[in-house]
Amino acid sequence: DTGVSQNPRHKITKRGQNVTFRCDPISEHNRLYWYRQTLGQGPEFLTYFQNEAQLEKSRLLSDRFSAERPKGSFSTLEIQRTEQGDSAMYLCASSIGTGAEAFFGQGTRLTVV
Amino acid sequence: GNSVTQMEGPVTLSEEAFLTINCTYTATGYPSLFWYVQYPGEGLQLLLKATKADDKGSNKGFEATYRKETTSFHLEKGSVQVSDSAVYFCALSAEDQKVTFGIGTKLQVIP
């Protein structure tokens, strides 16, 4: 296993378009996280899954954002009707066990023009 | 809720200088504590961790000790190198199981 994989690495989209990102976690990891990072800030929690169940979603997250992990393996993050403020690096991470470290992918950089 | 506070950067040091980056936390229960590093153009990597009070995490010459009495997890290195230039994030994982990050401290080491 080569670690957490995210696709695409870069996405440029026009305002108002929908975008979808994919994350493939480390295979035996049951937890999967999505974070957003903007320049000069730490990763901001968006949502996380334990297996296929979405256990928490940030209260700051707009209804335009939705995430799925249909079979408890890969996950997708969709942003509908993108806005310029959605421009950021979207990070996926996975972990196994309680209190364990999260392993991060390289991220998907979204630019909304 | 859980939170992590770390010193703001940037921190600029000469090569071989001593490094301290302060980190304090607020959390319910007994969190696990982490330092992550992000090198230029790369993803987040775990640098070290500690899972209970008085544990010391160490890696690549960096150390941090879990101090429950002061709710701190300060990062230290005795002699920094140019290759240590990166952004360092303090983080915790508590009962809610998600990893909460500080804002990051940029370290620049000059020859």
Q: Is the pLDDT of residue A33 over 90?
A: yes
Determine the residue of chain B that is closest to A50 in CA distance: B97
Q: Is the pLDDT of residue A62 over 90?
A: no
Q: Residue A29's pLDDT is what?
A: 92
CB under 8 Å to A87, separation ≥6 — which residues?
A38, A110, A111, A112
Q: What would the pLDDT profile of A69-98 be if each residue is shown by its tens digit? A: 998 899 999 999 999 999 999 999 999 877
Cα separation, A82 vs A67, whole angstroms: 15
Q: What would the pLDDT profile of A16-32 be if each residue is shown by its tens digit? A: 999 999 999 999 899 99
Per CB-CB distance under 8 Å, the chain B contacts of A9 are: none
Distances in Å between the alpha carbon of A112 and those of A10, A43, A63, A104, B97? 11, 19, 18, 23, 31
Average pLDDT taken over every residue of chain B: 93
Percent of chain A having pLDDT more than 70?
99
Q: Is the pLDDT of residue B96 over 80?
A: no
Confidence of residue B9 (pLDDT cuts 50, 70, 90): confident
Q: Residue B87's pLDDT is what?
A: 95
Per CB-CB distance under 8 Å, the chain A contacts of B31 are: 99
Determine the residue of chain A that is closest to B51 in CA distance: A99
Alpha helices in B1-111 (DSSP H): none
Q: Does B88 touch chain A (CB under 8 A)?
A: no
Cα separation, B42 vs B36, whole angstroms: 12
Q: Does B105 touch chain A (CB under 8 A)?
A: no
Report the alpha-carbon angle B104-B3-A21, nearest 5: 65
Per CB-CB distance under 8 Å, the chain A contacts of B44 are: 43, 91, 93, 104
Per the model's pLDDT, the better-predicted residue between B69 and A99 turns out to be B69
Select from B98, B101, B103, B105 the residue whose CB has the most chain A CBs within 10 Å, as the one to mutate to test that interface: B98
Q: Residue B8's pLDDT is what?
A: 84
Confidence of residue A1 (pLDDT cuts 50, 70, 90): low
Q: Is the pLDDT of residue B91 over 70?
A: yes
Per the model's pLDDT, the better-predicted residue between B87 and B96 turns out to be B87
User: Among residues A109, A97, A86, A107, which one has the least CA distance to residue A34?
Assistant: A107
| Least confident stretch, B26-30, B85-89, B105-109 | B26-30
Calculate mean pLDDT across residues A30-51: 92
